[in-house]
A and B are shown apart, each in its own frame.
Chain A
Amino acid sequence: MNAPILVSLGRVGKVFANGVTALDGLDLDVREGDFLSLLGPSGCGKSTVLRLIAGLTEPTSGIVTWPGSSDADHRGEVGFVFQEPTLMPWANVADNVWLPLRLRGVSRREAKDRIAESLALVRLEDFAKAYPRELSGGMKMRVSIARALSVRPRLLLMDEPFAALDEITRFKLNDDLLEARRELNCTIVFVTHSVYESAYLSSRIAVLSPRPGRVVAEIAGASPWERSGDFRTSLAYSDLCRQASRALTSSMTGERLQ
């Protein structure tokens, strides 16, 4: 049942330069094939967890390990999607998707097929030549996801990517993300403050406490993976929402759930 561990955070603490303790004694295992949602109130250090996994920042205490691989540097295996699309406004969609490959020395010609595939994954095949300012918010986010997928990451880290989008666009992107994940078979860690989004997407939900953040509850998400159109109205879904919601509430009031 349990897949091998991809990344493991052990007793991780993080104190920022300004003295704020973001994380304290956080334990978390990311397993291969997970769609793991980190659910928590704002300011609980969810984003910091992603940055620790990506190697963009170092823990103050505790340890981040990648048991499955011996290489000391894992950033090559990671894709990152920020809360904002953060596209380069001067480059068209295809060139934006090319960026991570370009940084690794892949020429535009060599990257051509990969760019096209990545854009197809997010259903933007017809917009390769468009500039970011010509796109809607949802389409910009699709480009941002295509950019992260262009390196075919083993692990995709997403930091509240759909928080700024309207609900209809978000639902559509949720489904397309699940589909892209199925196709590429990558592991995803997804930060969100939406109970419903985490319940819909995840195979596992980790609920974090308010700052300093720690994992206070883990909830097994829905399986099987196929999300039919009526999953949003199913009993399983509403039950998941109720569980996640209850865990979040009790994390806010400080009581431990077991």
Chain B
Amino acid sequence: MTRDPLKLALPLAVFVMAIAGWEIYVRAADVPPYILPAPSLIAATMKADWPLLSASLLVTLKTTLAALVLAVFGGVTLAAALSLSRIVEYSLYPFAVVLQVTPVIAIAPLLLIYMPQDVAVLACAWLVAFFPILSNTMLGLQSVDRNLLELFRLYGAPAHEGWSARLGSRLKAFWYLRRPAALPAFLAGLRIAGGLSLIGAVVAEMAAGSAGAGSGLAYRIIESQYRLNIPRLFAALVLLALMGVILFLALSALTRILLRHWHESALPREA
């Protein structure tokens, strides 16, 4: 697989030019740093405030990753239960939808009343990340070739052998057929959930707004805004953006590794 060098060089050139233009503009027009700090000042602030910012980065990163892991666990478990049993699907799915369509920022204050703050932040991030995994995994589990399912009926347990044999063959069909068939859709959901868990963490931190130890990057942004410390606000923002980009790249790489043998989306594009 040969990579087009332009794919990396072009965006890099645009980025460097934009930063240079920004720096030149701020210096030429003498813009005060509390309105728009120059990139060089943001970099210097990042370095000076690193102990504070890195601690906050760690807090937000932990929340985001924990929310993502819990969302995968909950989303996949529920999707599996829903796909194995009609009864479970009919009774639970509507509530999952209600949770999803209610804006999480509106739930956050409530969660903060009922839970300790760090748990509430985690719960918010989890709520946002959970649904794309659930719905995508369900879609994947259901989009199995019908003929392949017929093969399972043909070679699997006969219908007259009682419910335990039928359940066994249903579980086999799930493990051999639905699970691998659902993988591409699940991974698509995971990539969306990765970004959303970060958004959820940020939104919840902003709603919680606590000071002192254990406050994340989003809180640093609010705090810096109140204190007109705009360079630090930008520095925190840069770290959040970087975290989002790295998370996305990591999940994309995971997708490529898992699907490289068979799925169209993971194949190198024809020139």
Contact = CB atoms under 8 A, between A and B. Distances in A.
A98 to B, nearest CB: 10
Contact of B151 (A72, A86, A90, A91): A86
Interface class of chain A by DSSP:
loop
B156 interface: yes
A133 B262 CA distance: 7
A72 B160 CA distance: 10
Nearest to A79: B154
Contacts of B147: 82, 84, 86
Interface string B133-175: 0000000000001011011111110101000000001001000
A90 B180 contact: yes
Contact of B263 (A78, A89, A102): A89
B150 A89 contact: no
A196 interface: no
A131 B261 contact: yes
Interface string A124-157: 0000000111000000000000000001000000
B262 A131 contact: yes
B177 interface: yes
B262 A75 contact: no
B176 interface: yes
Interface in B225-244: none
A100 B151 contact: yes
A99 interface: yes
Contact of A88 (B154, B169, B180, B264): B180
A72 B159 CA distance: 11
A75 B150 contact: no
A127 to B, nearest CB: 14
Given A72-B160, A103-B172, A54 B180 contact: no
Contacts of A82: 147, 150
A75 B261 contact: no
A82 B261 CA distance: 24
Chain B interface helix/strand/loop/mixed: helix
A80 B154 contact: yes
Size category of the B interface is 20 to 34
Nearest to A54: B154
Q: By CB atoms of chain A within 10 A, which of B148, B154, B156 has the most?
A: B154
B183 interface: yes
B105 to A, nearest CB: 39
A92 B261 CA distance: 9
Contacts, number: 57
A168 interface: no
Contacts of A92: 261
B153 A90 contact: no
Contact of B156 (A80, A84, A103, A131): A103
Contacts of B151: 80, 86, 99-100
Given A56-B150, A100-B155, A132 B160 contact: no
A92 B29 CA distance: 64
Contacts of B172: 103
A54 B156 CA distance: 13
Interface in B70-92: none
B183 A102 contact: no
Nearest to B152: A103
B157 to A, nearest CB: 9
Contacts of B183: 90
A104 interface: yes
Contact of B154 (A72, A75, A89): A75
Given A89-B262, A90-B183, A75 B155 contact: yes
B257 to A, nearest CB: 14
Contacts of A99: 151, 155, 176
A73 interface: yes
20 contacts: A55-B154, A56-B150, A56-B154, A73-B160, A75-B155, A80-B150, A80-B154, A82-B150, A86-B148, A89-B262, A90-B181, A90-B183, A91-B180, A92-B261, A103-B169, A103-B176, A104-B155, A131-B261, A131-B262, A133-B262
**Pairs of residues from A and B, 6 with the lowest C-beta to C-beta distance, nearest first:** A86-B147, A103-B155, A100-B155, A90-B180, A89-B262, A73-B158
Given A88-B148, A90-B181, A132-B262, 8 more contacts: A72-B160, A73-B158, A80-B150, A88-B177, A91-B180, A100-B151, A103-B169, A133-B264
